[in-house]
């Protein structure tokens, strides 16, 4: 899912023009990377499993961080991330998703005085073809 979200973000022209396709990272910011950048992480996966059947839809919670040297740039990037992912419906790399925006928060990282906007999304992943419990 992280790679699929990155693939979607890398198709957003305005976002890529500001951060570059190589500055969108999985899980954590690459050491020595420049700002601005985007980080994609999974914070939770909830299933729709029943007593008889494995989950055919997983609900994946994503945290997307936009990191920049000033709050306006971080917020601008966050807007582009939301444009790319909110209400996304489609198939990426063979996986079918329905995504929606949940929440957004801003903070400052005191270590390097960078500004971070954290966007939360939920992605419902269709898991067709799952088998019954044995």
Categorise residue 32: left if φ over 0, alpha if ψ from -120 to 50, beta otherwise.
Answer: left
Report the pLDDT value the prediction gives residue 131, as an integer from 0 to 100.
57
What does the DSSP assignment read for 63-91? Answer: EEEEEESSHHHHHHHHHHHHHHHTT-EEE
Report the pLDDT value the prediction gives residue 132, as an integer from 0 to 100.
59
Report the pLDDT value the prediction gives residue 55, as an integer from 0 to 100.
74
Nearest residue to 21 via CA among 39, 5, 9: 9
Report the pLDDT value the prediction gives residue 53, as an integer from 0 to 100.
72
Categorise residue 41: left if φ over 0, alpha if ψ from -120 to 50, beta otherwise.
Answer: beta
Report the pLDDT value the prediction gives residue 130, as an integer from 0 to 100.
56
Averages of pLDDT over runs of 10 residues in the chain (134 residues) are 96 97 95 94 88 81 97 97 97 93 95 94 83 56
Report the pLDDT value the prediction gives residue 111, as an integer from 0 to 100.
84
Report the pLDDT value the prediction gives residue 112, as an integer from 0 to 100.
84
Nearest residue to 100 via CA among 89, 90, 86, 118: 86
Dmax (CA) of the chain: 54
Q: What are 89's two structure tokens? A: 């419906």
């Amino acid at each position: 899912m992280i790679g699929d979200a990155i693939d979607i973000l890398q198709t957003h022209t305005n976002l890529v023009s500001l951060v570059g396709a190589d500055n969108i990272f999985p899980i954590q910011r690459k050491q020595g990377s420049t700002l601005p950048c985007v980080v994609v992480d999974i914070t939770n996966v909830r299933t729709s499993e029943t007593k008889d059947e494995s989950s055919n839809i997983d609900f994946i919670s994503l945290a997307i961080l936009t990191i920049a040297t000033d709050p306006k740039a971080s917020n601008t990037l966050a807007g582009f991330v939301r444009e790319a992912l909110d209400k996304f419906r489609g198939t990426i790399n063979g996986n079918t998703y329905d995504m929606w925006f949940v929440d957004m928060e801003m903070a400052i990282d005191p270590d390097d005085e960078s500004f971070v906007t954290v966007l939360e999304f939920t992605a419902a992943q269709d898991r067709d073809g799952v088998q019954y419990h044995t």
